Structure 1
Amino acid sequence: MQTALLIEQLLNGVQFGVMLFLMAAGLTLIFGVMGLINLAHGSFFMVGAFACAAVAAATGSFWLGLAASLAAAAALGAIVEMTVIRRLYARDHLDQVLATFALILILSEGTRWLFGSFPLYLNIPPELGGAVELPGGVFYPVYRLAIIIAGLGVGVGLYFLIARTRLGMRIRAGESDREMIGALGVDIGTLYTVVFALGAALAGFAGAMVGALQSVQVGMGEPVLILAFVVIVIGGIGSIKGAFVGALLVGVTDTMGRVLLPPMLAAVIGPAQAAGIGAALASMSIYVVMALILAFRPQGLFSAQA
């Protein structure tokens, strides 16, 4: 296999991992601060993609659509937290799972009612079209490279938000002892709403960015949500650093497995069967990696306490 192709696919794995990081970062923030299992997180991914596609189609501007995806997902997240999620903090995790699963159905059917059952399509902005030559003579799509850069930028921004700002101090304190910061005068309700809206905005941003690479359709967030849960389990629940490392590990493992396994199997079972079996084994490899990591580090690679 050519080196250029391997480098291109490795970058595709990084791009996939960055997208998973945007999903997992919000999910792990919500669980770390609130202790909430939010199955509806994938719906914010879908809402962000639909908002971006609809606004871009109406205005002709991808960038206005991207801004709309952030605003729509954050606003919906805040509304959902204040009307539904706020009632679940003191409830059992099973109640949280059932309630947020109901939100998936409600948001999916609401999106279908607004936009119909047919998929929408989002064009890559002209300024990010084409390919750029990287060192080694590798040509890589500019838009995919922009996703990687944007994801890394979000990761750096989250680090400074959590580590260097007053809001980040309150978020970290909320992870450690929410009763104490409440006693010190911090409005816990407002903090939870902000954190939930921030997590939803990150998911909506990921959906908008990925929407230009695939069709925008109802239910597109659920497969990504499953992988996001794998990411936070691998990285350590509540850890942004863990979400980043886990997302890259999952993205590269899945992509490189789909590239390398079929040619390896073709020499044994023939090319006709190797494609399907190789793709299935690549999907399984993610969970094998998760099982191996949990066998040695049950708390994940980076625990929130670390």
Structure 2
Amino acid sequence: MSAILLIEQVLNGLQFGVMLFLMAAGLTLIFGVMGLINLAHGSLYMVGAFAAAAAAAATGSFALALVAALSAAALAGVLIEVAVIRRLYDAPHLDQVLATFALILVFSEGTRWVFGSFPLYLDIPDALSGPVTLPGGIQYPLYRLALIGVGLVVAAGLWWLTQRTRLGMQIRAGKDDREMIAALGVDISKLYTLVFALGAALAGLAGALVGAIQSVQVGMGEPVLILAFVTIVIGGIGSIKGAFIGALLVGLTDTLGGIFLPLILTVAMAPEAAAQTGAALASMLIYILMGAVLVWKPTGLFGGARPA
């Protein structure tokens, strides 16, 4: 494998990881602060992607498409939090799973009813289209570099929000002792709605950004949701830092594993058999990684810490 190809795959892994972080950050905030298992988080990712595709088709503006994705996902998050989720905070986890799974079906059929069953497509904006030349003469898509930049900016913004603002202090306190901050005058219902809307908006943003490099279709959020759960388990539930590190580990492991394993197996197998076996093993690597982390540290890399 050439050095150029290796660097390109590392960048691909980073891009996948930071987009996965946008999903995992919202999920870990919701689970860590509210104690809620939200299987419908992937549906909010899908809502953001469809809203962006529809807005881009109507206006021709990618910036407005991102605004539409953030707004639609946040609004959907507020609606389901007020109408459904608010009744589940003290319910057993099984009830939370069943209720949010039902929301997946509602969102899927509702999206199919509004947009139809055929995929939509969101074009990369002209300003970010084409490759850019990196040091060493490496040609890499500018849009994918922009996705890495967006993910890093969002990660820094979330760290600032949780560590340097009054709202972040309330979020951290709400994770540790919701009764106490309620007694101190914080409206816990409004705080939970705000946290849920923030998590939903992050998922919608991820859906919109990824929608420009793959088709936008019903059910696109569920595979990403599984990876997001793996990410927060590796990083530690309730930790923004853990979500970020976990997302990068998952992104790099998944991307590089798919490249290296078939090459390694060619030493002992025919190329076609090595490619098939390597692809099968590569899909298992992130779960092997999760198992190894949990054996070493059952709470995840940063588990038990405040959102940080």
The TM-score bracket by the shorter chain reads over 0.9
> Which residue does 2:248 correspond to in 1?
248
- Following the alignment from structure 2 to structure 1, what is the Cα–Cα distance between the partners of residues 63 and 25? 23
Matched, 1:295 2:288: no
- Following the alignment from structure 1 to structure 2, what is the Cα–Cα distance between the partners of residues 220 and 305? 31
Q: Comparing 257-266 with 179-188, which one deviates more in the overlay?
A: 257-266
Q: Comparing 135-144 with 146-155, which one deviates more in the overlay?
A: 135-144
Matched, 1:10 2:10: yes
Question: 2:192 corresponds to which letter in structure 1?
Answer: Y
Cα displacement string for residues 168-207 of structure 1 (whole angstroms, at most 9, x for unaligned residues): 0100000110000001110000000000000000000000
Matched, 1:157 2:146: no
Question: 1:237 corresponds to which letter in structure 2?
Answer: I
> Which residue does 1:148 correspond to in 2?
148
- Following the alignment from structure 1 to structure 2, what is the Cα–Cα distance between the partners of residues 226 and 16? 14
Any idea what SS the aligned residue of 2:139 has? strand
1:216-227 superposed matches below 5 A: 216-227=216-227
Any idea what SS the aligned residue of 1:119 has? coil
Question: 1:271 corresponds to which letter in structure 2?
Answer: P
- Following the alignment from structure 1 to structure 2, what is the Cα–Cα distance between the partners of residues 98 and 271? 45
Q: TM-score, normalised by structure 2?
A: 0.98
1:1-306 superposed matches below 5 A: 1-305=1-305
Question: 2:123 corresponds to which letter in structure 1?
Answer: N
- Following the alignment from structure 2 to structure 1, what is the Cα–Cα distance between the partners of residues 273 and 222? 28
Cα displacement string for residues 28-72 of structure 1 (whole angstroms, at most 9, x for unaligned residues): 000111000000000000000000000001111111111100000
- Following the alignment from structure 1 to structure 2, what is the Cα–Cα distance between the partners of residues 180 and 236? 24
Question: 1:198 corresponds to which letter in structure 2?
Answer: L
- Following the alignment from structure 1 to structure 2, what is the Cα–Cα distance between the partners of residues 222 and 270? 35
Any idea what SS the aligned residue of 2:186 has? coil
How far did 1:134 drift? 1.2
Any idea what SS the aligned residue of 2:25 has? helix
Stretches of 4+ moved more than 6 A in 1? none
- Following the alignment from structure 2 to structure 1, what is the Cα–Cα distance between the partners of residues 163 and 263? 45
Q: Which runs of 5+ in 2 are unaligned?
A: none
Any idea what SS the aligned residue of 1:108 has? helix
How far did 1:304 drift? 4.0
Question: 1:189 corresponds to which letter in structure 2?
Answer: S
- Identity %, equivalent residues: 71
How far did 1:266 drift? 2.5
- Following the alignment from structure 2 to structure 1, what is the Cα–Cα distance between the partners of residues 65 and 279? 33
Any idea what SS the aligned residue of 2:266 has? helix
- Following the alignment from structure 1 to structure 2, what is the Cα–Cα distance between the partners of residues 15 and 304? 27
Question: 2:271 corresponds to which letter in structure 1?
Answer: P
How far did 1:268 drift? 2.1
Matched residue count? 306
- Following the alignment from structure 1 to structure 2, what is the Cα–Cα distance between the partners of residues 201 and 133? 32
How far did 1:303 drift? 2.0
Cα displacement string for residues 88-129 of structure 1 (whole angstroms, at most 9, x for unaligned residues): 011000000000000000000000000000000110000001
Q: Which runs of 5+ in 1 are unaligned?
A: none
Q: TM-score, normalised by structure 1?
A: 0.99
Any idea what SS the aligned residue of 1:218 has? coil
Any idea what SS the aligned residue of 1:267 has? coil
How far did 1:293 drift? 0.7
- Following the alignment from structure 1 to structure 2, what is the Cα–Cα distance between the partners of residues 49 and 85? 22
How far did 1:275 drift? 2.1
Any idea what SS the aligned residue of 1:132 has? strand
Please tell me the root mean square deviation across aligned C-alpha atoms, in Å: 0.8
